[in-house]
Structure 1
Amino acid sequence: MPEMNLVERYQAYRVRRFLANSEKWRHLLPGWRTQRRRRILVVALAVTFAFMLVVGVLCHFFEQAPLLWLPACLLFFLVWPSLAIVSGRQGDAPAGALDEWEVQQQNSARSISLSITQWLVMIPVIYLTYGSAVTGGTHTTMAYTGGLLTLTMLMIGGCLPTMILAWSRPDPDPESDEFPMEAA
């Protein structure tokens, strides 16, 4: 058997780590693994991102607005891991841990996500470019606002594959281990 190169060893490590973590988290939040509940989490994450965008815009006008970033982060750190767990982390799973159909779905979601991210990041780029030209770079909160808007856009792009897959994936098969346990 030929010696594996660095990239192949890293990919094999990612698959092993993903499978070990999947086994560890597979029984967490069983009642939230249905499509309806996953969609609730996707909407909650979208609302969280909308709140982050509003905070970013408010930072342009109010110097104390960055304090609102803390509750936005709290919401994100509650909703995002929950969505990742109940969707089986399919959005960022290594290809070696997925079957052909799952890889195809993941690639499609990632492609959509990349296109959306590229367009979303243009918003803070235009804001910073236009704003610095108009104000001569003297607006004191422009860099912070631009930074928060860019960070939010990148977070949206990073979460979109999982959000797309969680939204569109059907309910698990009742016969599989993934289906929520019925209350006895």
Structure 2
Amino acid sequence: MTAATEPTTPLDRYRAYRVRRWLVREKQLTTMLPGWRTKRRRRALVITVIVALAALFVTGVLCAFGLQWAALFAGLSALVFLPSWTMVRIVSQAQDNAPAETLDEMEFAERETARSFGLTVTQALTVLPVMYLVWSGALFPEADASRTAYAGGVMILATLLAGGCAPAMILAWTRPDPEPEN
């Protein structure tokens, strides 16, 4: 017979592995970027991520209107987005993706609320570029297919990233300043 705490199914073993991996990662994150953990700096990072994603979306819109040079802004947006997004995840302890077993009741409730909002953001924002792709193909079949696909793809990428990043951004924005260490 197996002990009651020993995982028996593959899903249970994966959950236990994920918790162990999370606890190791959490120890690493607590020492990183200590000066960026204040509410003011976290909010500055969140705003930077939002601006980078908005710039990515605008790049798609400009490309839809045939401004080929605008595609350069997609790369610039990525250069701003990737480090600022990584920093947001670090300073918010990446709790948007933490296993439920590692969170207390309040953290779990906050995370679930943020995830729900992130899903709503994803669904609401992604409708616009999807409709662009559907209607541009149906109403303007003579339009440049590669330009339409690129523009729509960039807009969809921006909206999916915005929805996926929303939970961590919400948690980073709303969390109080950390307690000073004695």
1:52-92 CA deviation, whole Å, 9 max, x = no partner?
A: 11111111122333222111111111100111001110111
1:87-107 CA deviation, whole Å, 9 max, x = no partner?
A: 110111111111111111000
Q: Which residue of 2 aligns with 1:4?
A: 8
Match of residue 38, structure 2, among 29, 34, 42 = 34
> How far apart, in 2, do the equivalents of 1:143 and 1:130 lie?
12
Match of residue 95, structure 1, among 95, 100, 113 = 100
Which of the pair is proportionally richer in helix? Answer: 2
Question: Displacement, 1:175?
Answer: 3.9
Q: Which residue of 2 aligns with 1:162?
A: 168
- 2:127 is aligned with 1:122: yes
> How far apart, in 1, do the equivalents of 2:115 and 2:142 lie?
36
> How far apart, in 2, do the equivalents of 1:74 and 1:164 lie?
22
Match of residue 77, structure 1, among 79, 82, 87 = 82
Paired AA for residue 156 in structure 1: A
User: What's the C-alpha RMSD, in Å, of the aligned pairs?
Assistant: 1.5
Question: Displacement, 1:142?
Answer: 0.5
Is the deviation greater in 38-47 or in 91-100?
91-100
> How far apart, in 1, do the equivalents of 2:13 and 2:72 lie?
43
- 2:114 is aligned with 1:112: no
Paired AA for residue 94 in structure 1: P
- Kindly tell me: are residues 137 and 146 of structure 1, through their superposed partners in 2, closer, same or farther at Cα, counting changes over 3 Å? farther
Q: Is the 8 A contact 2:48 2:81 kept in 1?
A: no
> How far apart, in 2, do the equivalents of 1:68 and 1:116 lie?
23
Q: Which aligned runs of 4 or more in structure 1 are off by greater than 4 angstroms?
A: none
Question: Displacement, 1:137?
Answer: 5.5
Q: Which residue of 1 aligns with 2:149?
A: 143
> How far apart, in 2, do the equivalents of 1:4 and 1:43 lie?
44
When the two structures are superposed, what TM-score results if normalisation uses the length of structure 1?
Answer: 0.90
When the two structures are superposed, what TM-score results if normalisation uses the length of structure 2?
Answer: 0.91
Paired AA for residue 92 in structure 2: S
Q: Which residue of 1 aligns with 2:158?
A: 152
Partner secondary structure for residue 180 of structure 2: coil
Question: Displacement, 1:154?
Answer: 0.7
> How far apart, in 2, do the equivalents of 1:73 and 1:175 lie?
35
Is the deviation greater in 138-147 or in 120-129?
138-147
Q: Is the 8 A contact 2:56 2:74 kept in 1?
A: yes
Unaligned runs of at least 5 residues, structure 2:
none
* Length, aligned pairs only: 176
> How far apart, in 1, do the equivalents of 2:12 and 2:160 lie?
28
